[in-house]
Structure 1
Amino acid sequence: MPSSAALSRQERAERNRGRPTLAFDGTTPYARYGAIDTLLSLQRPATDEPAETSFIIATQVMELLFTLVRHEWERARDALDADDVPAALAALRRGHGAQDVLVDSWELLATLTPTEFNRFRDHLGEASGFQSYSYRHLEFLLGNKSAAMIRPHRADPRAGARLRRALGEPSLYDAALRLLHRRGLPVPAERVERDWTLPVEPHPQVVRAWELVYADDRPGNELLALAEALLDTAERVTRWRHRHLMAVKRTLGAKPGTGGSSGLRWLSGNVQQDVFPELWQLRTGI
């Protein structure tokens, strides 16, 4: 039976003879639902340089997408903890869509020249994307744990609390390995229960566990589907890092970053780090 809201929509369409409603009391429902007025009030350039608006909007778009990706990765992790692989796969695939838009969002800065950036760069002060707590949350969910990376957010109680919680919880990849262990695959004990705040090195026994997953490539092997979905996630992270590197190289060259890093050299190191390295390593042995 149709809901009361569905019936109301049908009645409205009939009353409007198929045309959209044009008269509202106050702000439109669309603007209220999406907090559009608030959203559009957040672009505050510090200079008259036109390219600064693109820079601000690109930054804000990425922050929104970081939040969406985090939402999907946490849902995927929690589904794996509950042995619900189909739900985890659905969340990862939604995350892939958000990641694709995130990678493409660098196009907003594709035409930013060094001269244009220099006209407003000094107004950034020490502001840097490195300081994004939403991005740091994603890195923790990937398993790139570091307590030191919470330090920039000590003065922000909400951000600090979220990052400390994420630091102490199993990552998305940890949840996948714990699932493999419960399914009888030879994941070593130290990867099933450990201090989740610490990073780990690739383990040959974990590679072996994934090799066994790939050995069964019959349709319907949900663990194989999970492995490929995780690799799709990992590859998109690397694409985003590479686009970040190229944007900085094009705009800044080898100049130091605004946040105190070496800039290009720092970003190059991040690009070289595989996400979920054991899923990449197994490909050599198969």
Structure 2
Amino acid sequence: MQPRPIPALADNYIWMLADPSGDWLLVDPGEADAVLATAGGRPPPRAILLTHHHHDHVGGVSALLRRWPGVPVHGPADPRLAGVVQHPVGDGDVVAAGPWRFDVLAVPGHTVSHIAFHGHGLLFCGDTLFSLGCGRLFEGSPGDMLGSLDRLSALPDATLVCCGHEYTLANAAFARVVDPDNAALQRRHEEAATMRAQGVPTLPSTLGQERDCNPFLRIDAPAVRAALAARRPAAASDRVEAFAELRRWKDGFGA
């Protein structure tokens, strides 16, 4: 059951999960046209799952519901999604859709109400965790985001990371400055560069791969701490401050 990333907007992925029986669902449809072109003559999806309220993740829902009235939409219990989400969910809830069941995980940081869906070896994590990176802190604190990433990092190695954007190459450029001697990161960068040159998505990655390569999941690694201490000595002793410094560094990288 391999999830399919549908390219949309500038660099978003809408995730489509299909079963051999014909059942399917969508995650974070930021626009409708890309979905409709991919769906062709399929019957309506079993559900639409939303990770957070940003328009590039929810902007296609209204048009899709005009095409397929009655499709259930599950997403955060956030007033900004009133009228979009008919089935608000939060941490500890379970979403059932056709043959699938997903655990809902609260992962604040990028937004305060951000959630992820985990099940069947898949993690739909929106803009919390990216391949080789993580989301910007638009609403949550560094402690919030670090706690969310710690939670996701505890999932099994083989978990497929289905995130919301094709940011892998840009993230790799930063990660290799932070962690230049990481051989696994070098291999991932080279692999991703080849994939993008061929027009192939770099996603999904695996959680084991991210733990080996992603500096935001390696905040306790000596090499990452050393790089942060060289920038700001106070960042070496406290893991939340180390994470905050790493995120600040990434925010200004290449600017």
Greater relative contact order: 1 or 2 (C-alpha under 8 angstroms, separation 6 or more)? 1
TM-score by length of 2: 0.22
More helix by share: 1
More strand by share: 2
Query: Which of these two proteins has the greater Rg computed from alpha carbons?
Result: 1
TM-score by length of 1: 0.20
